[in-house]
Amino acid sequence: MAKFTKADDEIQDMVHEIASELSLENFIDFEALYVAKNKEVVSVSKASAVAEYLSNRQDLCLVIIYAEAFDMVDDKTKKLWLRMAMDNVNYDTEKDKITIGVPAITVPYGFYKKYKQEAVDASELALLTMQQIADKKEQEKQEKKNKKKTKNN
């Protein structure tokens, strides 16, 4: 099991500043933790119910930071990394629910090195195309539902 330590106050302040920028500070309680080893530089996860109970904090999200990587960069880069990870967090006020994960583009590094912006644009187009298909199917589903409803009345 990974060993966690509380992140420095400077990092905690960055996390809370970003939460404020994202308008999440009124809904989600963030805690930044360092870990000695991680596959990602920064990741965000919802704390378990047990962790929330033991910390006496509701709607707690943990910002897990790979400490060694963070020590190697300047504050601007740290903030960008934090912001990129925290941009995945949303709070649905209607459902009173935290969701982590948003549509994202992925470009293999070697592919990016060769094609640069063209690779990013192609990945973005793939994401938008998939969303159009999903929207179209949802619209067809609604039309079918409405047609059935009017038929029964």
Nearest by Cα to 83 from 5, 136, 15, 152: 15
Please report where in the chains the tokens 């404020």 appear, as a residue: 20
**What does residue 143 show for φ and ψ, rounded to 5 degrees?**
-65, -40
Nearest by Cα to 111 from 122, 124, 103: 122
The CA distance from 63 to 17, in Å, is: 13
The pLDDT value recorded for residue 97 is 85
The pLDDT value recorded for residue 2 is 64
What are the sequence ranges of the domains in the chain? 1-102, 103-153
Per-residue pLDDT of the chain (153 residues; tens, 9 = 90+): 468 999 999 999 999 999 999 999 989 999 999 999 889 999 999 999 998 899 898 899 999 999 999 999 999 999 999 999 999 998 888 888 888 888 888 888 999 999 999 999 999 999 899 999 999 999 998 888 888 777 776
The pLDDT value recorded for residue 43 is 95
Tokens standing for 105?
A: 């583009």
Tokens standing for 47?
A: 């704390």
Residue 69 CB contacts under 8 Å (≥ 6 apart), including other chains: 41
Maximal C-alpha separation, the chain: 67
Domain 1-102 indexed as CATH 3.30.310: no
**What does residue 105 show for φ and ψ, rounded to 5 degrees?**
-95, 145
The pLDDT value recorded for residue 146 is 86
The pLDDT value recorded for residue 153 is 64
